[in-house]
Amino acid sequence: MLTRRQFTKLAAASAFAPTALAAAQPAKASKPEPIKVDRWKAKAPTQPKGRDLTGAAALGWQLGCQSWTFRDRTVFESIETMGRLGLTHAEFYPGQKLAPQFGDAVIDANMSDEHFRALQEHLNKNHVIANSYGVIAITKDEKANHANFEFAKKMGMHTVSCEPEREMWDAAASLGKQYGIRLAIHNHPKPSTFWDPDVELEAIKGREEWIGSCSDVGHWPRSGLNSLECLKKLDGHIFELHFKDVAKVDDKPTYEDRPWGTGGNDVKGMLTELKRQKFKGVFLVEYEITSGKELEENVAKSVAFFDTTANELAKG
């Protein structure tokens, strides 16, 4: 199975490539109008079943999921799982298979109108908002860049999480302005360009309106950094978070995901810091190990920890 980082590299190369299926389809006299979505007004249920959002709502926080968490299933199945767990916002990565009934079709900038409409209907049915798209690369391939942003706009998304090439930082900000979509720079671990928040800040400087951080708090320890200190550096520039608790694996230089509050990433300390920063926005659960029932149970534990901690912080 490809890692999400490999998917990031593939996304830029594939975003504008026509599929063989699309090429084989005969021209149609007319197409149904795409579902129109007002991304600034779309709302999830105020109180998902099984969750207490009192504290999160008071703090201006929403809890969603990066669909890589459920890479063991299709997009439609991931959405159903998010709905069951009360995760109201989703970030979708390009290349995940769409649904069992659609064969090899995937979610990406080449989706047909039929698949797009089916996806929007499935999101609405399960009370999940398509919040963001990524992680994608932003390269000198202008057609691919525009295709990705056109897709995100059509989906009604607020944000694109990305890792733009250094020489593309100004162009990336221009894309954001053109499409009205924020760019959240993601930090894969070394040797990624953005493993160090100081590099993120360099890219953000002078482009703050459109470029901010998609802070992956699980990757910083993998680069030898303290997640809490990194969040402090990015104060005022965080657009969204890939939120995780991680623990060092015995006798290995690696970190693995744990249910929030059971690892070594000081999740409560990070939430306390984000309250201090007056951060308002989306936390995206991302869990990169296990599958099936065990995975869902670990995510459910993380959701419960988030709600309990948010309630405590809102009272303080």
What is the pLDDT at residue 5?
55
pLDDT attached to residue 45: 56
Q: Averaged in consecutive runs of 10 residues, what is the pLDDT profile of the chain (316 residues)?
A: 51 44 40 42 64 96 98 98 97 98 98 97 96 98 98 97 98 98 98 98 98 99 98 99 96 92 98 99 98 98 98 96
Q: What is the DSSP letter of 246?
A: E
Q: What is the CATH number of the domain that holds 142?
A: 3.20.20.150
What's the confidence (pLDDT) of residue 9? 52
Residue 266 Cα distances to 55, 76, 179, 259, 263, angstroms: 19, 33, 36, 12, 8
Whole-angstrom Cα distance, residue 207 to residue 300?
A: 37
Looking at residue 253, its pLDDT comes to 78
Look at residue 251 in the predicted model and tell me its pLDDT: 80
Q: 295 in a domain, yes or no?
A: yes
- How high is the pLDDT of residue 142? 97
CB distance 186 to 135 below 8 Å: yes
- For residue 309, the SS3 value is helix
The reply to whether 11 falls in a domain is no
In a domain, 161, yes or no: yes
Burial class (CB in 10 A: 0-12, 13-18, 19+), 119: buried
> DSSP 3-state assignment of 206?
coil
Q: Which two tokens stand for residue 273?
A: 């810091």
Phi-psi label, residue 45: left if phi above 0, alpha if psi -120 to 50, beta otherwise: beta
What is the model's pTM? 0.87
Question: Who's near 194: CB < 8 A, 6+ residues apart?
Answer: 163, 185, 186, 187, 188, 200, 203
In this prediction, residue 39 carries a pLDDT of: 45
Domain that holds residue 98: 60-315
Among 153, 208, 211, CA closest to 180: 153
Query: Residue 51 falls within a domain, yes or no?
Result: no
Please tell me the number of Cα atoms within 13 Å of 188 on its side-chain side: 19
Does residue 174 lie within any of the structural domains?
yes
- Asked whether the CA dihedral 102, 107, 110, 111 is positive or negative, the reply is positive
Q: Where does residue 221 rank: exposed (0-12), middle (13-18), buried (19+ CB within 10 A)?
A: buried
Pairing of strands 255-258, 245-248: antiparallel
The span from the CA of 22 to the CA of 19, in Å, is 5
Buried b or exposed e, range 41-78, using 16+ CB within 10 angstroms: ebebeeebeebebebbeebebbbbbbbbbbbebbbbbb
| pLDDT reported for residue 250 | 87
Instruction: Domain count for the chain, please give it.
Output: 1
Beta strands in the chain (DSSP E): 61-66, 89-92, 129-138, 159-164, 182-186, 211-216, 238-243, 245-248, 255-258, 281-285
What local confidence, expressed as pLDDT, does residue 44 receive? 58
91 by DSSP, 3-state: which? strand
Residue 160 is assigned to a structural domain of this protein? yes
What is the Cα–Cα distance from 192 to 220, expressed in whole angstroms? 11
72 domain-assigned = yes
Give CA torsion, residues 300, 304, 309, 310, to 10 deg: 90
> Is 168 a domain residue?
yes
